[in-house]
Structure 1
Amino acid sequence: TTPKTVTGNDWGEETDKKFQAWPRTAGPPVVMNPITRQNFIIKSNE
Structure 2
Amino acid sequence: MTNLQRDILTGLTFVTGVIGFISGEFIISSALFAATTFASNINVNRKNHDN
Please report the TM-score for the alignment, with normalisation by the length of structure 2: 0.39
Write 1 or 2 for the structure with the bigger share of helix.
2
Please report the TM-score for the alignment, with normalisation by the length of structure 1: 0.42
Bigger RCO of structures 1 and 2 (CA < 8 A, at least 6 apart): 2
Larger Rg: 1
